[in-house]
Amino acid sequence: MFTYQRTIKEEVSFEGVGLHTGSYSKVDLKPAKVGTGIIFILKIDNQNIEINASYKNVVETNRGTTLGIGKYKIYTVEHLLSAIYALGIDNLFIEIDNIEPPILDGSSLDFYNGILAAGIKKFSDKKKQIIIKKPIYFLDSDNDVEMSILPYDGFKITFNASFDYGDNRKQSFVLDNIKNYFQEIASARTFCSFNELHFLKTNNLIKGASLESGLVFMNENITDDKINNINDLFNLSVKHKDTFLTLNDVKLRYIDEQVRHKILDLIGDFSLINGQIVGHVISNKSGHYTNIEFLKKIAKESVSNKNYRFNKDEIKKVIPHREPFLLIDEITDIIPGKKVLANKVFTEKDYFLEGHFPNNPIVPGVIIIECMAQASCFLSLNLVERREDKMMLLTSIKKSRFIRKVSVNETLLLEINLIKFRLNTALFSGVAKIKNEVVANAEFLATVVEKND
């Protein structure tokens, strides 16, 4: 972590071909005074177009992060921004004479070393800090992505990823301190699989790719015809053996280079919040789109300091229940993998109250348990892959106690804690309150199953 704002002492330049556009560009980094921020200056059409490096100016996230204003765009900014953020630089002009920074070797190492060689100037003004005071949570079930940020005295990133190619298909890495960036992250190169190459090339991407600008991991059953097709498409002359892990047998810098590069990308994307984040980021399978969407939530939640909430429509995106048996009204807070808070207001419209002590309706105890079980899905479903294809089934009520009756027009406050999750079965403890009074508690098991079984 850094205390004071920074810029560079001297100008430094980089040049080369952009990964996706294939455009040759020169980038000049220039010192800026305190409070300036990071500003791109696109020198094009006889103009100097200024674009602040902010999540508010992100216009595309397809295989990279693109900043834009009006009709002008700068593609694939994340590697350069990652190095800038890792060095604690807050104030900088980035002049670029084309639409994409050079990809160089596909990592941020050359950017990092070049900036370091230019020298770092420290100001006496303190950095803007974004201090995470309570957990903030993000879920994109369509893409099987879960992200959270927790209070932490520092900046820490835990990233979990999985791939359908390579020898090391499930990877996790923890960056404990941004000051370890050079040794642990900077050299990790961008990557894709062999089977993705044709799609990317024919969809107007990776126009500037070469064997020196990233890693290509081999899929299974690669034939000579497929190799010849790629050689023709990219004007290469590579050979292949079944023992090669990567195209042309390029050697890895780290055994888990993919997940380390995902952290590199995340840092570049998160730099767009324009402040030093004080918190622990936990990411499961995120990419540029989800990084930016989560960053928007962090910016909003860290300013408002509100609990993260799911309304009823958002609840429907996570669990399959629908009216009249979608019972919980709102998720009011989540500590990922630990605790969820929810509420339910009982009204005369609740069908299960008809005939249950008609003159003085009482909420059935099993309904309270069902409310707990529905809320618990927000903890257990996030621990499995392909959550969009899964659902939770209540399999056992180990013990329960109903302390006082719950009536119409009372608001049930639920707190569900995850005790253990093993072999797709979760053990929960739940407490139900009216105001501050405990009205019921229970321990129960729920199991993750396929929706269509």
**Is-catalytic flag, 261?**
no
Beta bridge partners of 191: 215
Taking every pair of C-alpha atoms in the chain, what is the biggest distance, in angstroms?
Answer: 84
Secondary structure string (H, E, C) spanning the chain: CCCEEEEECCCEEEEEECCCCCCEEEEEEEECCCCCCEEEEEEECCEEEEEECCHHHEEECCCCCEEEECCEEECCCHHHHHHHHHCCCCCEEEEECCCCCCCCCCCCHHHHHHHHHHCEEEEEEECCEEECCCCEEEEEHHHCEEEEEECCCCEEEEEEEECCCCCCCEEEEEECCHHHHHHHCCCCCCEEEHHHHHHHHHCCCCCCCCCCCCEEECCCCCCHHHHHHHHHHHCCCCCCCCCCCEHHHCCCCCCCHHHHHHHHHHHHHHHHHCCEEEEEEEEECCCHHHHHHHHHHHHHHHHHCCCCCECHHHHCCCCCCCCCCCCCCEEEEEECCCEEEEEEECCCCCHHHCCCCCCCCECCHHHHHHHHHHHHHHHHHHHCCCHHHEEEEEEEEEEEEECCCCECCCEEEEEEEEEEEECCEEEEEEEEEECCEEEEEEEEEEEEEECCC
**Is-catalytic flag, 356?**
yes
The Cα 284–Cα 41 span in angstroms is 34
Tokens of residue 365, six digits:
């105890």
Contact (CB, 8 A) for 167 and 245:
yes
Active-site residue, from 79, 240, 261, 288: 288
Contact (CB, 8 A) for 215 and 250:
yes
Nearest to 53 by CA among 294, 292, 271, 289: 271
The Cα 427–Cα 437 span in angstroms is 24
The Cα 192–Cα 331 span in angstroms is 37
Tell me, what amino acid is at 214? G
- Return the active site residues: 288, 356
